[in-house]
Amino acid sequence: MESSSREKKPAQSREDEESGVENLQGQTEINQQPDNPHQTLRREFKPRQVNMLAIAGAIGTGLIIGTGTGLSRGGPASLLIAFIITGSLIYFVMTALGEMAAFLPNDQGFNGYASRYVDPALGYVCKSSVAKVVHLSQVYSFAMGWNYFFTYAIVLPNNLTAAGLIIQYWRPDLNVAIWVTVFAVLVISINVLHVGSFGEAEFVLSTIKIITLVTVMITCLVVSLGGAPAHGRVGFQYWTDPGAFAEYLQPGTLGRFLGFWACMVQACFSYTGTEVVGSAFGETPNPRVTIPRAIRQTLWRICFFYIIGVLTLSMAVPYNNERLVGATKARVSAAASPYVIAMAIGGIKVLPDIVNACLLVFVISSANTDIYVGARTLYSLAKDGHAPAIFLYTTEKGVPMYGVAATSVFVLLGYMNVSKSASSVFGYLVSLVTVFGALNWISVLTSYLGFRRGMKAQGIDRNQLPYRGPLQPYGAWYALGLTILIIIFNGYNAFMPKFDPATFVTCYIGIAVYLINIFGWKFIKRTKRVKANEMDLVTGRPIITEKQAVRETFQQTNHKLATMAVSPLLAPPVEAASATQQRSTSSPLKRTLSAVSSANGTPKPTKAAKPEAGLPADDLIEQMNRAEANKYVTTKFLGEGTYAIVHQGYEKAKPSNIVAIKMIKVQKEYTDGMAPDAVRELKHLQELSHPNIIALRSVYSSNSQNLCLVLEYLPLGDLEMLIRDASGIIYGGADIKAWMGMLTRAVWFCHENFVLHRDIKPNNLLIAADGEVKLADFGLARSFADPYRVMTANVITRWYRPPELLYGARHYSGAVDVWSVGCVFAELVLRKPYLPGNNELDQLSLICAELGSPTEDNWPGVSKLDQFTAPSEPLSPVPSKERMMVQFGTAGADGVDLLMKTLTLDPRKRITAKEMLKHPWWHSQPKPTRKEDLPKKKTGAEQKFAADQARQPGQVDEKMAKVARKLDFGAPK
């Protein structure tokens, strides 16, 4: 698991974080309480709602209707290529947005990111009695915010009018204004009631969207393959006759290129709104988990709904079809959809009515989203001081009421759209929306590049981000350049065949408005740019990197703590300890003098060589350190990682005593000492001495200031290797019982000494030459003698993490380790991970499916945990012993009973390690295998041991995890 430091939590916080270092998964979210409850949004979106919003976000008239325009102008190949290229653009926009939002989610929408990152400033108006400075970031935020607001405010009446026109498919005698009013009341009511009402309504509407689109895609495929009533099999015939590329405005090659570019513009319109899920990030609980998952959904949506949807359409409808050419000039209705034309070509008579009804759902869903995004954008603008403060007001349910009202005013444009002339004028406004949408993408990408610039200037490693998009920042530069090209050449048809002023204004006025907003605000507010190293990457960040007190302790006395924890040598007399010498030191062990002490501060007796009289303290420590280093001889190189270099060695006095010498590299981020997780590992290894826990022989400092740990040599790799090698290693119930006994005794000993391991997994169970299994990697270990101590919930590798931690428990005991032991037990029996969740949400789903859904009946108090949410799926019962016997029968009835007790949902009912050792399973047949007779793997084991030791304590080898998942822990392929 990845390590990160943690900042000091605000004083007003109810909880006090545990000291030390947590993994990246252990980043703790801060739900800051506002001074005014009527000026804050509510984080009440459920993960399933955010995921559905990400999947179905922008699917609407642009895809279901607009693709017909692109197909008629550019042909099938141009349309498909354009959607693939533009889809890659959108994907990089979304991954850029995901990196920013997962690192620091905010309730200000996209302009909130622009305020913070486009220029390295704090992003808000700084007032003083002398001057008022508004940073350039606010200029960009001002332009981006209003640009985004108008994008959705203008398209709102268009969608409502489209809904009315769709109704006219059945009732042409009714005026469109009637339906504009009806649907306006509907979507406004949904947005006024509650954030949850919008989320739930959009979840239902989006589900219908997806079902409809999948249906029409399958229908197109059936039509092209000859399954429709017309019985004409065409396949890719339309790609050759009339052809793959259509000519547009000009004949020949130029015409085909113009047709392709028309498809690019049309693809931009179809993808507009894909980024809308970002507006919900500020109202999403546990954004560190939900946001990356929602962003990843974008790639699959682009590939499936857009690209495959366009491909199936191009197979079913030729670009020169008379109804297609005529439909692209008609009003918005089902008749204008190329999918309806495909059904007509196939002779299907019923589906057009169904598609028309579903198209109604499309536009109502889009109108619903338009109000939501517009209102949140106004709230964000007001929070930055770019809009009247009245838009900051929210109801007790977190609804920005005045923002909803202001956005709803634009519904009146829908009544203007009733007349034919108004409809033509409004068509130009739709084109304007496309330009505004592309400008929004430019704003997001520019914000992201500013964000990366600030990270680089402040020395923040990208590996610290909860989500990292592929190919970034190069993908952002590519997407930015392509979007600029599309905007610049968007209006080429205004010059062909002759200049059309109306088209020109429609295509380029958005750019003018955007630039006027930027430079006008800059001129009025006299803004100044701030340096990258002054960008605020801390305020409001939902990550606690380390308590300030702990950070100061490590900065000032890190070497002293390390010395106290691990060195049995440094126990000089008081006279020597009081001596001071102002001189440079070359070794981490020379920084301070201390008696050895345990975790609770109790001194331990040590034996130290008597120092020479009058010897300076620094020279004394250097002499003792050199003497310790000279005890060992380094032989062959075993392996190297980013954290350590591992060699094999032996003791000079006893060459047969083989050891592993692990040299921890000096880390730049800890210039005053070693990494705190290394200190933690050393401390616990010094305190714990047990046959089933890896032994720390000694520690000394090298000439290069690297700390060298002398560990017992374990040449047979780890338990994970044996589990994975199903073809080469065969083991049975007796072997499993032997390994489980060793693991249980190690965990019992840790708990008896009030130490939680917090990362038990097969990868951390190393095998000695005599077959003994030893527990290693104490980088996440923690003392738990104080029952009132608050600890992080985000430890233990995900597949072995208990449900109480997944639900955010902050007070826990040895039950968390026992759950991990149970997962290892199950993995030994199955020879593959028992609960291999892809993320925290998936992990909980697997636990519920396999071991039952947590309720107040089987787990009293579970609903009070910080991150508990009631399961949306039907509750799964706790499995019976008979059901578990089917899956784990090879362990025997007693073994299954023990397994079920280790995997009990309620941690208070879960068996303890001490009780495990008294279970009758150990005394039943078969008896445990002797350690000397246990299966062993020699090939590659030494390299695996080296890799285990070279990685940082508490770190997950992601590459190895991916390999294990790919191989399913089975035979190598």
Choose the most confident range, by mean pLDDT, from 269-273, 467-471, 774-778: 774-778
CA 170 to chain centre: 46
Instruction: Write the CB contacts of 680 (distance below 8 Å, at least 6 apart in sequence).
Output: 20, 21, 778, 779, 780, 781, 782, 953
Give the pLDDT of residue 950. 62
Two tokens at 62? 């642009």
Above 50 in pLDDT, residue 835?
Answer: yes
Give the pLDDT of residue 523. 75
Query: Domain map of the chain by residue range?
Result: 29-534, 548-712, 729-921
Asked, as a colleague might, if the bond just before 473 is cis with ω within 30 of 0, I would say yes
Helix (H, G, I), strand (E, B) or coil at 904: coil
Q: Is 459 annotated as a binding residue?
A: no
- Is CATH 3.40.50.20 what the domain over 29-534 is classified as, yes or no? no
Distances (CA, A) of 146 to 109, 140, 342, 436, 580: 12, 10, 40, 10, 64
Helix (H, G, I), strand (E, B) or coil at 3: strand
pLDDT-wise least confident of 77-91, 346-360, 918-932: 346-360
- Quickly state the pLDDT bin for 539 (edges 50, 70, 90): low
Higher pLDDT, 916 or 532: 916
Residue carrying the six token digits 């010897």: 615
pLDDT-wise least confident of 73-77, 225-229, 928-932: 225-229
Helix (H, G, I), strand (E, B) or coil at 594: coil
Q: Is 662 annotated as a binding residue?
A: yes
State residue 111 phi and psi, 5-degree precision. Answer: -70, -20
Give the pLDDT of residue 139. 45
Above 60 in pLDDT, residue 117?
Answer: yes
Residue carrying the six token digits 């998942």: 965
Q: Is 155 annotated as a binding residue?
A: no
Higher pLDDT, 540 or 910: 910
| Conformation bin of residue 771: beta by default, left when phi > 0, alpha when psi is -120 to 50 | left
Report percent pLDDT > 70 for the chain: 68
Above 60 in pLDDT, residue 901?
Answer: yes
Distances (CA, A) of 773 to 99, 303, 689: 41, 47, 14
- Quickly state the pLDDT bin for 325 (edges 50, 70, 90): low
Give the pLDDT of residue 423. 46
Segment 705-743, tens digit of pLDDT: 678 889 888 888 889 989 988 888 899 999 999 999 999
Two tokens at 468? 């990292």
pLDDT-wise least confident of 463-477, 757-771, 944-958: 944-958
Handedness of CA 916, 922, 928, 932 (dihedral sign): positive
**CA-CA distance, 866 to 12, in Å (whole number)?**
18
With contact defined as beta carbons under 8 Å apart, do 793 and 907 qualify? no
Is 672 among the residues known to form the active site? no
**CA-CA distance, 483 to 470, in Å (whole number)?**
19
Give the pLDDT of residue 531. 66
> Which own/partner contact pairs does 479-482 have at CB distance under 8 Å and 24+ positions apart?
479/88, 479/89, 479/90, 479/92, 479/93, 479/96, 479/441, 479/445, 480/442, 480/445, 480/446, 480/449, 482/85, 482/89
Q: Is 641 annotated as a binding residue?
A: yes
Segment 657-697, tens digit of pLDDT: 889 888 877 655 554 456 666 777 788 888 888 999 998 88
pLDDT-wise least confident of 111-115, 151-155, 682-686: 111-115
Catalytic residue, candidates 384, 536, 759, 948: 759
Above 50 in pLDDT, residue 887?
Answer: yes
Segment 228-262, tens digit of pLDDT: 777 678 888 889 888 889 888 888 888 899 999 98
pLDDT-wise least confident of 305-309, 456-460, 473-477, 780-784: 456-460
Segment 377-426, tens digit of pLDDT: 788 778 767 788 888 888 877 788 888 899 888 888 777 655 554 445 44
Q: Is 161 annotated as a binding residue?
A: no
CA 96 to chain centre: 12
Q: For domain 729-921, which CATH number applies: 1.10.510.10, 1.10.3720.10, 1.10.10.10, 1.10.8.60? A: 1.10.510.10
Give the pLDDT of residue 111. 57
Distances (CA, A) of 754 to 594, 782, 804: 24, 8, 19
Span 54-83, average pLDDT: 78
- Quickly state the pLDDT bin for 822 (edges 50, 70, 90): very high
| Residue 630 CB-density burial (10 A; 0-12 exposed, 13-18 middle, 19+ buried) | exposed
Give the pLDDT of residue 209. 78
Closest to 954 measured CA to CA, from 612, 574, 680: 680
- The structure's pTM equals 0.50
Give the pLDDT of residue 847. 93
CATH of domain 548-712: 3.30.200.20
Q: Is 711 annotated as a binding residue?
A: no
Q: Is 829 annotated as a binding residue?
A: no
Above 80 in pLDDT, residue 601?
Answer: no
Closest to 339 measured CA to CA, from 360, 306, 310: 310
Which uninterrupted H or E stretch holds 647?
Answer: strand 644-651
Give the pLDDT of residue 217. 86
Give the pLDDT of residue 243. 86
Q: Is 640 annotated as a binding residue?
A: yes
Residue carrying the six token digits 């789903």: 845
Q: Is 372 annotated as a binding residue?
A: no
Give the pLDDT of residue 787. 61
Span 781-802, average pLDDT: 82
Closest to 213 measured CA to CA, from 56, 335, 49: 56
Span 825-851, average pLDDT: 92
Instruction: Write the CB contacts of 350 (distance below 8 Å, at least 6 apart in sequence).
Output: none
- Quickly state the pLDDT bin for 888 (edges 50, 70, 90): very high
Q: Is 444 annotated as a binding residue?
A: no
CA max distance for the chain: 110
430 C-beta neighbours (distance < 10 Å), count: 18
- When the pLDDT of each residue in the chain is averaged and rounded to a whole number, the result is 73
Give the pLDDT of residue 112. 62
Segment 287-305, tens digit of pLDDT: 666 677 777 766 777 777 7
Closest to 797 measured CA to CA, from 7, 20, 24: 24
